[in-house]
Structure 1
Amino acid sequence: MENNSRVSEFTLVGFTDNQQLEILLFIVLFIAYLSTVLGNTLIIVLTIVNQRLRSPMYFFLRHFAVLEIGFTSVMIPKALVNIAMGHKAISVYGCFVQIFVYFALGSTEFFLLAIMSIDRYVAICNPLHYSSTMTGWNCSLLVLCCWGGGTLLFMGPAVGLFQMPFCGPSTINHFFCDNGPLIRLACADTTLLEYTYFLTAMILLLGTLAIHVISYAKIISTILGIPSAKGRQKAFSTCAAHITVISITYGSCIVLYLRLNKPSEVDYSKVVAVFNTVVSPLLNPFIYCLRNEQFLEKHLQTMYHSLKDSMRVGRTTVRT
């Protein structure tokens, strides 16, 4: 950190200087964050406890819920503390850690979403080979590759940013440490670093998006060939939630990172970043639970059998 010794901490501008508006923002962000953690924790618990939710699809969904909790926890708690304490500062080390974890978890999410599309492709287009292809070992290996790939992908750009000299000013016009506003504070030529971040993000987003497009093109072709209308509807229902999450996640990230990041557009980027880091993780549990008929059906069946067993035990106790 010798190059960064001139700046010991950065100041995060946040959302606004209006104290009353900050109180409202604190309440909204706190409720959204708490709901996100509880909603995704519910998915994790249900997919572990419920024996009927042990398929590869729910295995991947459980890891996706873990990622969503980690992803939103990287930024929101620190933003809430800054608003509550009125001290909008973050150390240089904390800033770099926040950036790296943010991009590592985000990249892992994109890889995992791509794996989930492949899982749906195998389940619908090659159902006879599904059980032999998506074994527990293979699913665990795929998830491990997602974590490893997401961590390593942005390692190079992160090291490059870490070695940049920062000698002032130290004010970041954002509510968390993002690479765009931070790069503009470096006291050196950042052209190569900016292109590296842009190219890495483009490879990640467009590469995984190509997997989604190819998978769902074949999935839709297969579904349209199903003679039964009920069968087509059931097949589409298993993909509806995943398609919705893909649209939200990729839409917000493409707008946020694959566009010219000019200083005049920072306020707009804050709005998109809030949607990407707060709204999207909050909506995902509702999307998967409410739009996935299989999830609801199996969960309701479990609740029904549990209630029935409890009533049976209660009657037996009373008789005794």
Structure 2
Amino acid sequence: MTAWHAPEALIARYADGSLPDADAWSLEKHLESCASCAGRVSGVVRATAAGAVLADVRDAVLAAATPAPAEATPQDLRHAVPAAATPAPAEAPPPRTPRLLWAAAPAVRGAWLPAVLLVALGAVLLAHVAGFSGARTLLLAVAPVVPVAGVALSYGRHADPLHELAASTPSAGLRLVLTRTAVVLAVSLPLLTLAGLVLPSPGGPGAAAWLLPGLTLTLAALALGGWLGLRTATAVTGGGWLCAVLAPALATPDGAVARHLSDQLSAYVGGAATQGGWAAAAALCAVLLAARRTAYDRLERF
């Protein structure tokens, strides 16, 4: 609950449509946590010409959603929903946890979560069942692009059937993208790091050496998303990493792919100086993302 309440003049301007967009979004955000103001705004809006239209729409939706007996007439249906013309009293806003789960849902559903489990379990099976000594090296090479792919698959019309609805809320834009990115990181980072810890190590970088590169690539994808859109930006960053790490190892003439891949990873993620460079790059990407945060208000691009 908040001690501030919207003044009558502000509510009146919101109801007649004369309130600037930025102020309207701010008021709508306040209404999420203030049932008192939500009830006052609802009453003022119902008194306008739009209120009658909204009541008619509500009547039509309720009538369509209410199963009618075979012998019912349209007049019966109109009387079967006596509360349709009387708006329900304002209710308290839903708890923060369900709202957060709703916002984060696309980040943990669909094919992405099974894909993360497949990568982690596949590496473990390669090492302990197939006896492949380079399983940990291969996992460390692929792991940094997993959260990047998760970001691409958790946001946008292609991932969320309620994208247009989410895009119209005051919490949309960069805040929603960061919420889903945080969920992606919270799932992928511990799973892939745990998988790396249980794999035999023939040498090379440690199981957690990929964490800073993975975080940096994710932030780089978000920063580039302000210019290119998230799907293109994640393809550029993730594809660039895979080409830089895998292409030289696959092109080795002697066929010792696992050894060359381990050498490539050591060069890219091994050592304090290299990790410091990734940390600096992550900070730079975060600054760019903050500077371009308003670009995420144009959600139709993503």
- Greater relative contact order (Cα 8 A, min sep 6): structure 1 or 2? 1
Which of 1 and 2 has greater Rg?
Answer: 2
- TM-score, normalization: structure 1? 0.28
